[in-house]
């Protein structure tokens, strides 16, 4: 399971990615006494489809919110990243470039950073999505990475953190290293 905060223009959401292949959108409402009462507002079932050799849903291992285009981003064990319109939950983009499962995501301005079991961090320019979201019958966009960082060769990139005030990306991997 993975989580991300998604403050859309409509609502304050919590995104959840699941091993059952679904993405949940949880409204972060409050009770009259002030307690947080999250409730599931929507769900994208089988977000990445099914694995061809097992027939099982592709597990969602990472979720993130791209605020500039108001879209949700998900990565799974199919090595693909998908972008979803936050209004109607339609798929607006597919990003291909990793050779193994996508394990973590981070956003900074127009750029998405994706970490993988292949030890790399790929950098994607998502500015093109700003012109696609909300356009009726817009075709799905397919993007390739802008750049690649060999973050943890021979190891899995487990987590990433953007340090925007410093202009750095920090990663940690299964090689027991933290790289900045």
Q: Give one DSSP letter per residue of 67-102, joined into a string.
A: TTTTEEEEEETTSEEEEEETTT--EEEEEE--SS-E
Q: What is the pLDDT of residue 54?
A: 84
Among 112, 79, 89, residue whose Cα is nearest residue 41: 89
Instruction: Judge contact between 77 and 59, C-beta under 8 A.
Output: yes
Among 41, 26, 143, residue whose Cα is nearest residue 83: 143
Q: What is the pLDDT of residue 136?
A: 59
Q: What is the pLDDT of residue 137?
A: 65
Q: What is the pLDDT of residue 134?
A: 64
Q: What is the pLDDT of residue 25?
A: 92
Low-confidence ranges of the chain (pLDDT < 50): none
Q: Which two tokens stand for residue 57?
A: 């849903």
Strands 36-44 and 23-30 come out as antiparallel
Element (H, E) at 3: strand 2-7
Q: What is the pLDDT of residue 76?
A: 96
Q: Which residues fall within 8 angstroms of residue 28, CB to CB, at 6 or more apart?
A: 11, 12, 13, 14, 36, 38
Q: What is the pLDDT of residue 115?
A: 98
């Amino acid at each position: 399971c993975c989580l991300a905060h998604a403050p859309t223009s409509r609502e304050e959401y919590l995104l959840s990615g699941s091993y059952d292949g679904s993405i949940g959108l949880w409204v972060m409402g409050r009770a009259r006494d002030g307690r947080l009462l999250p409730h599931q507002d929507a769900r994208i079932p089988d977000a990445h489809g099914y694995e061809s050799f097992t027939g099982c849903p592709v597990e969602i291992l990472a979720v993130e919110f791209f605020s500039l285009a108001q879209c949700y981003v998900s990565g799974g064990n199919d090595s693909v990243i998908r972008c979803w319109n936050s209004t109607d939950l339609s798929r607006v983009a597919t990003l291909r470039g990793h050779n193994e499962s996508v394990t973590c995501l981070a956003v900074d301005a127009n750029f998405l950073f994706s970490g993988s079991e292949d030890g790399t961090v790929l950098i994607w320019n998502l500015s093109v999505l700003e012109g696609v979201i909300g356009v009726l019958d817009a075709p799905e966009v397919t993007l390739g990475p802008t750049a690649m960082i060999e973050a943890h060769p021979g190891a899995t990139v487990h987590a990433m953190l953007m340090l925007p005030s410093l202009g750095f990306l920090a990663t940690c991997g299964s090689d027991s290293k933290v790289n900045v």
